[in-house]
């Protein structure tokens, strides 16, 4: 159920970048303004998440998930009728607030229901979000692009459905809190043997750099891939949305793979292969023809998306007992860096070209090489 709610939550969020071509044409926005919309949305999604997660670790709030979704509901209804730039910023900020409440607490629910297979549980939870991200552009192409801005209001029905689901999740979570007598997360009291606080901080810094490389690149693809395809190959808005859907659907598929493989062979190796392994395909993408570009985008989405679940679980292994805070920190980093990346690439596209920003962003997955500096947490825990 947490996976289903994640699908609905991220589907509604992904409508925002999916309707950028429509908003750009209707209001005459620049690429910098498009990037600023994403920055406001993703910063409101990110800033509160570590604090929400820390509070959840100390004082779990089972029904906060449904309350947060109410912010998303109001934001969607406002976005459907927003008359200009400032109102659009307000509406996306409300959707962002809802997301900031949803992700840390729901990650705790996922690990609580994992039965010890944390990587698999995080992947199942995360694939819901990635599937929702993929559905957003598809539904925008089928609903919003043909019928206009007001049709965004229909997505409020998804918010209502998510609220109903999260009320049931909250009831299960409340009952679980009442029945568990020991630590809520088994092994939460165990430290990672042999790692000093300094090494743990260093490992978290390396993970932050890896999240930066992944989500700066993803920000370029998610927000400007449609514009790149329309400008370079002359395809229609709807066709470009279908291509974006293919990329995001591949990303959803890759997420399914990363968690369970990480449980089996080690999360460090999944992170390494995921980010650095995407680099050759990302480097080729800006120079390919239309068919090659789509194929390469699918491969990049499939490969690079397997990292995030492994990163989150790896980080919770570094700091056991702080699942909410760590989830909030890394989901917050994901949204925050994605927002900064969108604003940066929007600014850069106005001053250079879309082709230039795709060539520049293709270098980012090369940062995956620093994964080799991470300690082998799983090996230490089994000693």
Q: What is the pLDDT of residues 304-329, one digit of tens each?
A: 887 777 787 788 778 776 666 676 67
Residue 363: pLDDT band (50, 70, 90) is very high
- What is the fold of 2-381? Growth Hormone; Chain: A; (1.20.1250)
Q: What is the pLDDT of residue 166?
A: 86
Phi–psi pair at 180, nearest 5 degrees: -80, 120
Q: Name the residue with higher pLDDT: 166 or 126.
A: 166
Confidence check: pLDDT of 10 > 80: no
Residue 61 is classified by DSSP as -
Confidence check: pLDDT of 93 > 70: yes
Cα separation, 127 vs 295, in Å, equals: 21
Q: Classify residue 343 as exposed, middle or buried by CB count within 10 Å of its CB (0-12, 13-18, 19+).
A: buried
- Contacts of residue 217, Cβ cutoff 8 Å, sequence gap at least 6: 282, 304, 341, 361, 362, 364, 365
Of 63-72, 142-151, 314-323, the poorest mean pLDDT is in 314-323
Cα separation, 119 vs 112, in Å, equals: 12
Q: Give the HSE-up count for residue 372: Cα atoms under 13 Å, Cβ half-sphere.
A: 5
Confidence check: pLDDT of 191 > 50: no
Domain locations in the chain as residue ranges? 2-381
Cα separation, 137 vs 252, in Å, equals: 14
Q: What is the pLDDT of residue 187?
A: 47
Q: Name the residue with higher pLDDT: 141 or 73.
A: 73
Cα separation, 335 vs 320, in Å, equals: 23
Cα separation, 343 vs 358, in Å, equals: 14
Average of per-residue pLDDT values in the chain: 80
Confidence check: pLDDT of 90 > 70: yes
Of 110-124, 269-283, 318-332, 365-379, the poorest mean pLDDT is in 110-124
């Amino acid at each position: 159920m947490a996976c289903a709610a994640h699908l609905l939550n991220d589907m509604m969020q992904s409508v925002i970048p999916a309707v950028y071509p429509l908003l750009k044409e209707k209001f005459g926005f620049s690429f910098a303004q498009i990037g600023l919309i994403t920055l406001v949305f993703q910063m409101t999604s990110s800033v509160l998440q570590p604090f929400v997660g820390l509070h959840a670790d100390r004082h779990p709030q089972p029904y906060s998930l449904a309350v947060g979704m109410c912010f998303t509901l109001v934001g969607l209804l406002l976005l459907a009728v927003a008359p200009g730039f400032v109102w659009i910023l307000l509406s996306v900020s409300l959707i962002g607030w809802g997301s900031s409440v949803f992700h840390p607490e729901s990650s705790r629910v996922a690990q609580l229901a994992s039965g010890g297979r944390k990587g698999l549980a995080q992947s199942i939870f995360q694939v819901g979000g990635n599937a929702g991200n993929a559905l957003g552009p598809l539904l925008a192409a089928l609903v919003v692009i043909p019928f206009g801005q007001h049709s965004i209001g229909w997505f409020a029905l998804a918010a209502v459905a998510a609220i109903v689901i999260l009320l049931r999740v909250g009831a299960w979570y409340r009952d679980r809190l009442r029945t568990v007598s020991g630590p809520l997360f088994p092994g939460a009291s165990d430290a990672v043997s042999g790692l000093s606080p300094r090494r743990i901080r260093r490992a978290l810094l390396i993970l932050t750099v890896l999240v930066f490389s992944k989500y700066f690149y993803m920000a370029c693809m998610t927000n400007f891939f449609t514009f790149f395809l329309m400008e370079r190959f002359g395809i229609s808005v709807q066709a470009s949305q279908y291509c974006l859907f293919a990329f995001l659907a591949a990303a959803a598929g890759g997420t399914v793979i990363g968690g369970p493989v990480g449980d089996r062979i080690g999360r460090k190796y999944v992170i390494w292969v995921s980010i650095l392994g995407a680099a050759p395909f990302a480097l080729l993408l800006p120079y390919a023809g239309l068919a090659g570009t789509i194929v390469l985008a699918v491969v990049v989405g499939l490969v690079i998306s397997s990292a995030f679940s492994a990163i989150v679980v790896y980080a919770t292994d570094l700091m056991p007992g702080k699942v909410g805070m760590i989830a909030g920190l890394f989901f917050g980093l994901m949204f925050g860096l994605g927002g900064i990346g969108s604003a940066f690439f929007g600014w850069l596209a106005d001053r250079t070209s879309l082709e230039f920003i795709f060539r520049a962003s293709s270098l980012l997955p090369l940062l995956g090489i620093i994964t080799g500096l991470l300690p082998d947490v799983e090996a230490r825990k089994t000693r």
